[in-house]
Each structure stands twice: as C-alpha cells, then as structure tokens.
Homo-oligomer: A and B are copies of this chain.
C-alpha cells in the first residue's frame, strides 16, 4: 500500500509475499475489501492505544503532535482514506474509528484547558484537535510530495504555541521539575 497504493494490493501479490497461493488469501478474507478492513481495524486499535498513552503523558500536546507527524503512519492513513472514498463499507469503518480518535483527543484536551489557562472561546478543545490534525496531516503529505514552502514558518508557529503551553521539549523519562534523590 505504501509503495504502490491500495490498487496495487492484489491477492496474487499478497500471497506471493507470504509464499503462498493466491487462493489462500480468499480463504482467510473472502474479498479484498475484507482484507483491507481487517488490516485497518488492527492498525486502528494499536493506534488508539498509542494515542491514549501520548495523551496521558506529561506533555500531552507535544506527544500528540509527535504522534501525528509520523510520516509512515500518515501516508498509510491517507492511502486508507483514498480507498475509503470509493468503497462504502470501508468509508463507514474509517469514519467510525476517526471519530473515536477525535473523541479521545477532545476528552483529554478538555481536562487540560483550565490547567493551561485556555479560553474556551478563543480555541475550544474540539477546534484544537481539528487544527493539529489538519496541520500535521497536510505538512506531512506535502513533504512526501517534495514541497517545503511555508513549512518552516508553520512548524515554528506550532512550536511557539507548544512552548507557551507545555514548555520545552523533554525526553520521555525526564520529570518536569528536577528532583533530588
């Protein structure tokens, strides 16, 4: 899917990669759409857990931002969205999971608004999640195409806000305030 797109994923090629006969693919997944659905669900469940860990970390916004700027993950997600645009059953499934991702983000960010002193009118949590998703997705997508104009300025803007809300970037194990032992 990553190298040649969803349309290049055939039962023959999948079987060949697995060292099996193409008919076995149809034995496990009757249609190719069934295979895509199974693949998407497994990926989405793992992703939901990773996102939950990110949102529970010491710097939730930074962790979320790093998670959403992963190039390989974004590329595969875009491929699934392209597929979903033309298959109703897959579209329904993707929309369902995407709403779960977003709901978890909104819930986590809502509990941060007072801690961070965010005015709900200036930028409600729901809008913040859409903003972060949009920016990361489009920049990663454009990078994959070889574009770069405006990226540095936009990333600087994001970093500026992240810094204001969560301070410097700290490695995962580092406590927010130095502790003596």
Question: How many chain A residues touch the partner (CB < 8 A)?
Answer: 50
Shortest distance between the CB of A116 and any CB in chain B (Å):
17
Would you call the interface of chain A mostly helix, strand, loop, or mixed?
Answer: helix
Shortest distance between the CB of A67 and any CB in chain B (Å):
16
Asked if B86 and A4 make an inter-chain contact with CB atoms under 8 angstroms apart, the answer reads yes
Q: A141's closest neighbor in chain B, by CB?
A: B81
Contact code string A134-174 (vs B, CB < 8 Å = 1, else 0): 11011101101111011101101100000000000000000
**Known contacts A135-B134, A139-B134, A154-B126; A145/B86 CB under 8 A:** no
Q: Please list the 10 inter-chain residue pairs (A to B) with the smallest Cβ-Cβ separation, ordered nearest first.
A: A7-B7, A134-B138, A126-B150, A127-B153, A134-B134, A82-B82, A130-B150, A130-B154, A126-B153, A127-B154
